Structure 1
Amino acid sequence: MNFGLIVIGDEILSGKRQDKHLSKVIELLGARGLALAWARFVGDDRARITATLRDAFASGDVVFSCGGIGATPDDHTRQCAAAALGVPLELHPQARELILERMRDVAAEQGVPFEPDRPDNVHRLNMGVFPRGATIVPNPYNKIPGFSIGDVHFLPGFPVMAWPMIEGLLDGRYAALHGSQRQTERSVIVMGSMEATLTPLMEAVEHEHPAVRVFSLPSVDHPQYGRHIELGVKGPAGAVDTAFTQLRGGLQALGVTLGPEMVRT
């Protein structure tokens, strides 16, 4: 299965807040031998969120959607998920109990009576209104749950909440996938050449070794190597070794100057 990430919120696109989810999700997946296949950033526009979620549901991928599941006027994700699926919203009974439990905990911490019928507490129950058929995603930070529909998982925008929830999903529901996307990279620094010159060799290597992908990372101002290209292959370890041997041999035949080789897993 592929993994995708959706980050929702005007504050990310405007620069008021810097996204932290992309790098962390890559890290969490990589630590488990998994990889992120795609990511999308979407502002607080209902039509655009709905279209993005419709694509996510149709993708068949495991998707983590972060942001917009609160109960303020600028939170639209719950409503858009329901619209994308064509189902109604309804208060999830287990979410209701968890939210009430959280309210009870807060009242005890503050030393005040628990008043579930107070207007602000009634409004808080909206955070448990999910599309019909949703299941909850436990939130170890404050008990206010996220929700899942199939393999699309809806989480808060706050990293302190979202990241443990993602880890819980990866180590529970998707534990059997661990290691299934583990890849190796082998590359070499190429100096004194141009990508256009190397492209036929890259295409030949990919053609001969369909299990790997060739990559080219040019740099014009590296502090050590100056203008150069990092050229390499990535994929399953055994296939990478064979493909890299062909790549390096082709580079030597071209007479280019080679620098250090690198291996990443």
Structure 2
Amino acid sequence: MTGHLGIIIVGSEILLGKREDRHFARSRAQALARGYELAWSLLLADRLEDLVTQYRWAFAQECPFFSFGGLGATPDDLTRTAAAIALELPLQRHPEAERLIRDRFADGAEPIRIRMADLPSEASIIPNPINQVPGFQLRNGYFFPGFPQMAEPMSAWVLERDFPVRTPALQLRVLLHGQKESDWVLFMEQFCAGHPTIEFSSLPSFLASGTQIELGLRGNPPALRDAWQMLRTEIEHRGVDWEWLEEPQLP
């Protein structure tokens, strides 16, 4: 399995400022705790055509993704329909989801709540320990309700079941004092060409006392060690005043 994960958050109320998102930071922390990083994140309105387009794209990606929101039974809850359309699948009543909803709500399941058992035909359910209305998995997508108190234990269950703990990539960050990015661009290009497996970042700062650059490197230990040796040699060659912001424990 890829070491990355995508996030989709559905809700016009977030885009309109009626509510604050609580899924992104929580999901990122959950994923990182098991050694997975976020590859991308989308915040989408409750518009069917947009949801279909973005789910179609997400299903085509190599990495799995988590989707939050839009699983209720009101007209603006479009996630189940959009996911089905994106994969050209019919919606159909899922027997286990139906049983769970009827067990939970009895006569109150009809005529509205039972609609939440209508899932894309290939879906399998994700248990909901809070109110028993399940989410679902569909290929590389995992779909959770928009309520964080429900989504959190459900996504934790999925991570425990399907995402074995990985050793995360190591990273280092150094701060170069009194430096301008423009003076380092040619070296950066040579560096990136020579270390294609290393994730490289450059973040300049503009202070009253002058400019500085934060350089970040991420990768597996052998590649990171070689890359750091090249960068440190260049720093020392230029006589730059520098300091660690994050020093890795390289084996």
**1:98/1:226 CA distance change after superposition, 3 Å:** farther
Q: Which of 83, 95, 98 lines up with 2:97 in the alignment? A: 95
Contact 1:232–1:244 (Cα < 8 Å) also in 2: no
SS in 2 for 1:59: coil
Q: Which amino acid aligns with 1:219?
A: S
Contact 2:34–2:163 (Cα < 8 Å) also in 1: no
Aligned to 2:156: 167
Q: Which amino acid aligns with 2:246?
A: M
Aligned to 1:257: 241
Aligned partners of 1:81 and 1:262: how far apart in 2? 41
**1:144/1:74 CA distance change after superposition, 3 Å:** same
Aligned to 1:28: 30
Contact 2:180–2:211 (Cα < 8 Å) also in 1: no
TM-score by length of 2: 0.92
Aligned partners of 1:226 and 1:263: how far apart in 2? 24
Aligned partners of 1:240 and 1:206: how far apart in 2? 12
Q: Deviations over 1:191-219 (max 9, x none)?
A: 11111211222222222222212111222
Aligned length: 247
SS in 1 for 2:130: coil
After TM superposition, what 4+ stretches of structure 1 lie above 4 angstroms from structure 2?
none
**1:264/1:159 CA distance change after superposition, 3 Å:** farther
Contact 2:71–2:79 (Cα < 8 Å) also in 1: yes
**1:136/1:218 CA distance change after superposition, 3 Å:** same
Aligned partners of 1:55 and 1:145: how far apart in 2? 24
Give 1:226 shift.
Answer: 7.0
Q: Which of 149, 161, 167 lines up with 2:138 in the alignment? A: 149
Q: Which amino acid aligns with 1:254?
A: R
Aligned to 2:56: 54
Aligned to 1:76: 78
TM-score by length of 1: 0.87
RMSD, matched Cα: 1.9
Give 1:231 shift.
Answer: 0.9
Aligned to 1:66: 68
Q: Which of 98, 110, 116 lines up with 1:121 in the alignment? A: 110
Aligned partners of 1:128 and 1:16: how far apart in 2? 28
Give 1:255 shift.
Answer: 2.9
Q: Work out the percentage of aligned pairs sharing the same amino acid.
A: 37
Aligned partners of 2:133 and 2:179: how far apart in 1? 56
Aligned partners of 1:261 and 1:36: how far apart in 2? 22
Give 1:248 shift.
Answer: 1.7
**1:41/1:261 CA distance change after superposition, 3 Å:** closer
Contact 1:140–1:164 (Cα < 8 Å) also in 2: yes
**1:82/1:205 CA distance change after superposition, 3 Å:** same
Aligned to 1:243: 227
Q: Which of 6, 31, 51 lines up with 2:8 in the alignment? A: 6
Matched, 1:39 2:41: yes
Q: Which of 128, 131, 143 lines up with 1:139 in the alignment? A: 128
Aligned to 1:179: 166
Unaligned runs of 5+ in 1: 105-115
SS in 2 for 1:256: coil
